[in-house]
Structure 1
Amino acid sequence: MRKSFQKIAKKYALLKQGWSPQQNLFYGFLTYIIIGCILLCLPVSQKISAPILDHLFIATSAVSTTGLVTISIFDTYNGFGQFIIMILIQLGGIGYLTFTTFMLLSTTRKMTLWHKKILSTEFTLPNTIKIKDFLKSVILFTLIMEAIGSILFFIAFKNEGMPTLEAVWSSIFHSVSTFCTAGFSLFNNSFMDYVDNNFINFIISMLAICGSLGFIVITDFGLMIKNKSHELSFTSKIVIYGFLILLTFGTAFFYFLEPSIVNLNDSRFLASFFQCMSAMTTVGFNSVNFGVFSQAMMLVCIFLMYIGASPSGTAGGIKITTLTAVFAIMKSRLRGRSNITFLGRRIPYERLYIATSSFIFYSSIIAIGTFLITLTHNFKFEDILFEVASALGTVGISTGITGDLTTFGKLVIIILMFIGRLGVLTFGLAIWSKTITENERKVLKEDIAV
């Protein structure tokens, strides 16, 4: 039996070596989802039974750190089932192979070429940051922040009169869910009951922003503390500036223009900031009902979900850096410049190709997803577009249509969440990439009018 298992393990290892890094990520996250779905289907995980498709939906939503749900987490799953969901969130949040590679470094101090290729594909890093330093920052910062979050949540929930054991579990679950920007809650109405609770709003915002700003920024700050001569990378500067600008303008839009928030009086600013932060960090919690938002503010929210936050973090979306690259291309073209620059720095063409490809592919997938849902459902168009943008951006906020989706609609959203976690370009390369042959290199050069 042992020899048979060893043979299977060897064959699987050889098979993985033959896959491209993108395919390894594809099958790796898919394996997490399948195992998670199987565990959630077990009676030992459930309070009440639910269809297999809903378990698959929840498993995908957890691994992709999205937070969209078709069934109530608290009402459907018992403590063990909720624990499985939390583990899936954690695995999806820190990334495929991140923890195992960290353990490898902790024991042997060596990283295989195979590990390096996959991690370099999953986490886009600037040249100033080494993968080894980055991995240590990911694991240590995640554990520290989630521990701090659990303690703060426990204090907050106890102040609200929650029983001790319930407060302990809720604190741990929501801390992991928040830092990984997963948006899963044990409360059926998310955090709407705490719209005016400054402490809880602060905890969620702190954890979500720290997670979504990305481990590149955290690693940069860590290196600055260790070495005073180290400067913030160009990537970190763009992420921080872009995040602050979008967060400021988004909060102002919600504060002045959203009727359902204007009427909150004392909680007006807090609710405006929280909803903007939730969309941008893709944490997916809400303290007000998005279903009653005006069309204009839904459009603003869709834009924020579309952008997301930082690369190599827990947030989804096309990323602030991609938006910056596309904006830099447009600005340079309008000024007639051959070099693409931003903040006085020239952006490499390789990064620009990646950014424009990601921008086009991401937008195309949103359009296709919206078309498919619109074709088979009678929901309002803005609700469908909102749902699709939330799924692909791994955000998790909804206007309330998720539970009413048909089987086809749920499958579409499942695929969108999976693509969002994997990354649109990684997904495309995993499906369509192939070895370039000599004949493919010998292509004719031709002009095109644009």
Structure 2
Amino acid sequence: MDNSFKRLTKRYTLLKKGWTPQQNLFYGFLTYIILGAILLCLPIFQKTSAPIIDHIFIATSAVSTTGLVTISIFDTYNFFGQFIIMSLIQLGGIGYLSFTTFMLLSTTRKMTLWHKKILSTEFTLPKTIKITDFIKSVILFTLIMEIIGAILFFIAFKMENMATLEAIWSSIFHSVSTFCTAGFSLFNNSFMGYVDNGFINFIISMLAICGSLGFIVITDFGMIVKNKNHRLSFTTKIIIYGFLILLTFGTLFFYFSEPSIITLEGKSRFLAAFFQCMTAMTTVGFNSVDFGGFSQAMILVCLLLMYIGASPSGTAGGIKITTLTAVFAIMKSRLKGSKNITFLGRVIPYERLYIATSAFIFYTTIIFIGGFLIILSHDLKFEDVFFEVASALGTVGISRGITADLTMFGKVIIIVLMFIGRLGVLTFGLAIWSKNITNEEREILKEDIAV
């Protein structure tokens, strides 16, 4: 028995080493989803039964840290089922291999080349940050923030007269869900009942922003604490500037232009405007007002914020602020007739520009295809469908109320989009289509093209 297990383990190890880093990520996250779905299908983890496709949907949504749901989490799953969902969120939030690599570094202080290749693929890092320092920051910062979040949530829920045991579990679950920007809630109406609760709004915003800004920013600031001569990387500066600009203008748009928010009085109006902008940008997926009642103008703003997202190597989805910056820099430099692509006085390497433009085009194409397939198979409003698709691919989790009404085909489309969103569009593409380059590559003829 032991020999058979050793042979099986050895074969699996050789198989993994034969895969590309992108394929390892693909099959790694797919394994999480399959195991999670199998567990959620077991009656011992359920309060009421549900179709298998819904359990697969929930498992995918949890691992991808999206938050779209077709069934009620609280009404369908018991405590143990909810715990499985929270565990899947945590695994999806910190990333494939992050925890095991952290344990490896804590014991042997060595990282294999296989680990380095996969982690470097999953987390896009500037050259100024070492992967070992980054992984330590990921685990420690996640643990610290989720503990702080759970304590603050407990205080807030007790202030709302929630029962002690319920408050303890709700605090832990929502802290993990918020920091990982998963958007899963044990409340069927998300946080709409707390639209005027400044304390709860603050807790969610703090955790979501810290998670979505990305571990690059946290690692960069941590290096400043260790070494006062260390300067913030160009990537960190772009992320912070871009995030603040988008958050400020987005909040102002919601505050002055959204009718359902304008009707609110006092601090509730500002809290609602800020919260909805924050939840779309950080892709945390919670809402304190009903997105189903938003005007078309604000739906467009939401789509833009979900499309962009926040930071690379964080818990948020979207094309990322850095990708948008690179595409903008290309446009600006071309219009000026400059030979170099620059931003804030710095030249951006062509390798990064190729990645950014590829991600931008592929991401947009997937949104179009996903939206087209759902519109073709459903009798739903155009804006509702593309809102849902952008939310799924951006791993946001907010909806205009059509998720539960999707057919099995529609749910499968959303499942695929959520999976691609968590994996990353380029990683997904490389996992499916990449091939090993050999010396026997046929000669490719060069040709001009009019643009």
Q: Could you tell me how far apart the structure 2 residues matched to 1:404 and 1:440 are?
A: 49
Shift of 1:47: 0.3
Residue 435 of structure 1 corresponds to which residue in structure 2?
Answer: 436
Residue 66 of structure 1 corresponds to which residue in structure 2?
Answer: 66
Shift of 1:7: 1.1
Unpaired segments ≥5 residues, structure 1: none
Residue 299 of structure 1 corresponds to which residue in structure 2?
Answer: 300
Shift of 1:128: 0.3
Residue 347 of structure 2 corresponds to which residue in structure 1?
Answer: 346
Q: Could you tell me how far apart the structure 2 residues matched to 1:163 and 1:438 are?
A: 67
1:336-366 CA distance string (max 9 Å, x none): 0010000000000000000000000000000
1:143 maps to amino acid: L
For residues 218-229 of structure 1, the aligned pairs below 5 Å read: 218-229=218-229
Residue 392 of structure 1 corresponds to which residue in structure 2?
Answer: 393
1:117-149 CA distance string (max 9 Å, x none): 000000000000000000000000000000000
1:25-69 CA distance string (max 9 Å, x none): 000000000000001011111000111100000000000000000
Q: Could you tell me how far apart the structure 2 residues matched to 1:353 and 1:426 are?
A: 14
Q: Could you tell me how far apart the structure 2 residues matched to 1:396 and 1:441 are?
A: 45
Residue 284 of structure 2 corresponds to which residue in structure 1?
Answer: 283
1:173-196 CA distance string (max 9 Å, x none): 000000000000000000000000
Residue 44 of structure 1 corresponds to which residue in structure 2?
Answer: 44
Q: Could you tell me how far apart the structure 1 residues matched to 2:247 and 2:441 are?
A: 45
1:42 maps to amino acid: L
Residue 180 of structure 1 corresponds to which residue in structure 2?
Answer: 180
Residue 118 of structure 1 corresponds to which residue in structure 2?
Answer: 118
SS of 1:196's partner is: coil
Q: Could you tell me how far apart the structure 2 residues matched to 1:150 and 1:118 are?
A: 31
1:317 aligns with 2:305: no
For residues 227-376 of structure 1, the aligned pairs below 5 Å read: 227-266=227-266, 267-376=268-377
Shift of 1:435: 1.8
Shift of 1:23: 0.1
Q: Could you tell me how far apart the structure 2 residues matched to 1:25 and 1:9 are?
A: 19
Shift of 1:437: 3.6
Residue 22 of structure 1 corresponds to which residue in structure 2?
Answer: 22
1:280-304 CA distance string (max 9 Å, x none): 0000000000000001100000000
Shift of 1:440: 3.5
Unpaired segments ≥5 residues, structure 2: none
SS of 1:431's partner is: helix
Q: Could you tell me how far apart the structure 2 residues matched to 1:435 and 1:121 are?
A: 16
2:182 maps to amino acid: A
SS of 1:161's partner is: coil
Q: Could you tell me how far apart the structure 1 residues matched to 2:156 and 2:2 are?
A: 50
Shift of 1:436: 2.4
Residue 409 of structure 1 corresponds to which residue in structure 2?
Answer: 410
1:34 maps to amino acid: I
Q: Could you tell me how far apart the structure 2 residues matched to 1:113 and 1:289 are?
A: 48
Residue 93 of structure 1 corresponds to which residue in structure 2?
Answer: 93
SS of 2:286's partner is: coil
% identical aligned pairs:
83
Residue 79 of structure 1 corresponds to which residue in structure 2?
Answer: 79
Runs of 4+ in 1 over 6 A off after TM superposition: none
Shift of 1:278: 0.1
Shift of 1:441: 5.4
Q: Could you tell me how far apart the structure 2 residues matched to 1:214 and 1:168 are?
A: 27
1:391-426 CA distance string (max 9 Å, x none): 000000000000000000000000000000000000
Q: Could you tell me how far apart the structure 1 residues matched to 2:318 and 2:275 are?
A: 18
1:244-277 CA distance string (max 9 Å, x none): 0000000000000000000012211110000000
Q: Could you tell me how far apart the structure 2 residues matched to 1:45 and 1:8 are?
A: 30
Residue 34 of structure 2 corresponds to which residue in structure 1?
Answer: 34
For residues 417-428 of structure 1, the aligned pairs below 5 Å read: 417-428=418-429
SS of 1:238's partner is: helix
2:43 maps to amino acid: P
1:54 aligns with 2:87: no
SS of 1:265's partner is: coil
Q: Could you tell me how far apart the structure 1 residues matched to 2:438 and 2:145 are?
A: 48
TM-score by length of 2: 0.99
Q: Could you tell me how far apart the structure 2 residues matched to 1:201 and 1:270 are?
A: 7
Q: Could you tell me how far apart the structure 2 residues matched to 1:438 and 1:298 are?
A: 51
2:389 maps to amino acid: V
Instruction: Say how many residue pairs are matched.
Output: 450
Q: Could you tell me how far apart the structure 2 residues matched to 1:400 and 1:70 are?
A: 10
Residue 146 of structure 1 corresponds to which residue in structure 2?
Answer: 146
Shift of 1:439: 5.0
Q: Could you tell me how far apart the structure 2 residues matched to 1:151 and 1:50 are?
A: 33
Shift of 1:3: 1.7
SS of 1:29's partner is: helix
Shift of 1:318: 0.2
CA RMSD of aligned residues (A): 0.6
